[in-house]
């Protein structure tokens, strides 16, 4: 049976590769680039983020003129951020802009594609590592064409957990982030890591390198593609409170299996943040 979204997915992979070249060409010069700030002094954006998002959206518009977009830098420029049932490209042109600015080598282009609010395919290109992660709903997840499978570990005490400190440094939020982290470290788990990119953290879960990843404060463009890559690699997704994942809620927990996920959810202070689709 023909896959109606195959040509869109092929286009996404080609665009991610092209965008990755733009990012690789710029990374050495990133420190010379004007680094601008968005929601806070540590929420960074560069001209390369904006250039890559334009490149992707322009090309998709030419090929699929009826499709919709949620793009990180377009939303920052005032576009609405609402996930509808229409075919929608959900784009993070550089996930890991802080890494990009500092030449820390985990920088991804993340492209998710949803229809009826369900992610149909996800593409995450870790461009400095030249690792192309892809997933098509119902057809598995791959890295550079090699099938991905989550870790078999069932005991969270034998696990590595990925998380991030986030870009909200309000003292009350920092307290909550650290109290969760203290509980997780004290389970005790084998270790805690963070790549500085939600998309890459999710690909690490899908690859079996880490058992789980959680974060509060991410956006839909950080996790749309990665969420399908995790589930197609056999993993589970949920809200940090153990409920159903809501792509717009800015909270995510991805794990290799239900038992690790549920144990982790019990340790997290699941505070709420303003939703991506909150009316502005
Ligand atoms: O603004 P960017 O680079 O697209 O993305 C933000 C982000 O890198 O920051 C978080 C770290 O707190 C990551 O989990 C998330 O993906
Ligand atoms: Mg991001
Ligand atoms: Mg970004």
| pLDDT score of 30 | 55
CATH T-level assignment (fold) for domain 6-147: Fructose-1,6-Bisphosphatase; Chain A, domain 1 (3.30.540)
Q: Is 168 in the pocket of ligand 1 (CB under 6 A)?
A: no
Rounded distance, CA 94 to CA 199, Å? 10
- For residue 98, the SS3 value is helix
Domain ranges (residues) in the chain: 6-147, 156-267
Q: In the numeric block, which tokens belong to residue 212? A: 């789980």
CATH T-level assignment (fold) for domain 156-267: D-Maltodextrin-Binding Protein; domain 2 (3.40.190)
Angle between helices 220-232 and 198-207 (to 10 degrees): 10
**What pLDDT, in 10s, does the model give residues 125-141?**
999 999 999 999 999 99
**Closest C-alpha to 253, from 214, 220, 223:** 214
Rounded distance, CA 209 to CA 160, Å? 8
Whose C-alpha lies nearest to ligand 1, atom 5?
A: 95
Q: Is 49 in the pocket of ligand 1 (CB under 6 A)?
A: no
**What pLDDT, in 10s, does the model give residues 194-219?**
999 999 999 999 999 999 999 999 99
Rounded distance, CA 141 to CA 156, Å? 24
| pLDDT score of 32 | 66
| pLDDT score of 207 | 98
Q: How many Å lie between the centroid of ligand 1 and the Cα of residue 3?
A: 32
- What is the spatial order of strands in the sheet that 160-163 belongs to? 191-193, 160-163, 212-216, 251-255, 236-238
Q: Is 53 in the pocket of ligand 1 (CB under 6 A)?
A: no
Rounded distance, CA 280 to CA 207, Å? 37
Q: Is 120 in the pocket of ligand 1 (CB under 6 A)?
A: no
Checking if the pLDDT of 1 tops 80, the result is: no
Q: How far is CA 1 from CA 7, 87, 136, 186, in A?
A: 14, 20, 15, 50
Give the pTM.
0.97
| pLDDT score of 42 | 83
Q: In the numeric block, which tokens belong to residue 205? A: 């879960």
Q: Give the residue numbers annotated as catalytic, written as ranges.
A: 72, 92, 94-95, 97, 222
| pLDDT score of 43 | 85
Give binding residues for Mg(2+) as ranges: 72, 92, 94-95, 222
CA dihedral 173, 108, 81, 33 (to 10 degrees): 80
Mutate to test the pocket of ligand 1, among 91, 193, 196, 224 (most ligand atoms within 8 A of CB): 196
Burial 146-174 (b: 16+ CB within 10 A, else e): eebebbebeebeebbbbbbbbbbeeeebe
Global ipTM: 0.95
100 CA closest ligand 1 atom index? 3
How is 150-174 classified by DSSP, letter by letter? ------GGG-EEEE---S---HHHH
Q: How many Å lie between the centroid of ligand 1 and the Cα of residue 196?
A: 6
């Amino acid at each position: 049976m023909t896959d109606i979204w195959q040509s869109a997915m092929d286009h996404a992979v080609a665009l991610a590769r092209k965008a990755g070249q733009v990012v690789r060409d710029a990374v050495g010069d990133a420190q010379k680039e004007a680094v601008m700030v968005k929601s806070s002094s540590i929420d960074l954006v560069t001209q390369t983020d904006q250039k890559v998002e334009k490149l992707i959206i322009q090309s998709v518009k030419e090929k699929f003129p009826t499709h919709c977009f949620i793009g990180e830098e377009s939303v920052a420029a005032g576009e609405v951020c609402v996930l509808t049932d229409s075919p929608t490209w959900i784009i993070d042109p550089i996930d890991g802009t802080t890494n990009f600015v500092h030449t820390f080598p985990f920088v991804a282009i993340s492209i998710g594609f949803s229809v009826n609010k369900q992610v149909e395919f996800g593409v995450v290109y870790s461009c400095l590592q030249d690792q192309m992660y892809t997933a098509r709903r119902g057809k598995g997840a791959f890295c550079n064409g090699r099938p991905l499978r989550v870790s078999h570990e069932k005991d969270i005490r034998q696990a590595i957990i990925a998380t991030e400190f986030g870009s909200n440094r309000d003292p009350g939020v920092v307290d909550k982030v650290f109290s969760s982290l203290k509980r997780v470290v004290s389970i005790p788990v084998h270790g805690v890591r963070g790549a500085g990119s939600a998309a890459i953290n999710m690909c690490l879960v899908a690859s079996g390198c880490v058992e789980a990843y959680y974060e509060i404060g991410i956006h839909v463009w950080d996790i749309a593609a990665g969420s399908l890559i995790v589930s197609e690699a056999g993993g589970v997704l949920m809200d940090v409170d153990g409920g159903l994942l809501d792509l717009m809620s800015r909270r995510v927990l991805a794990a290799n299996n239900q038992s690790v996920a549920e144990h982790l959810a019990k340790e997290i202070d699941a505070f709420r943040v303003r939703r991506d689709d909150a009316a502005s």
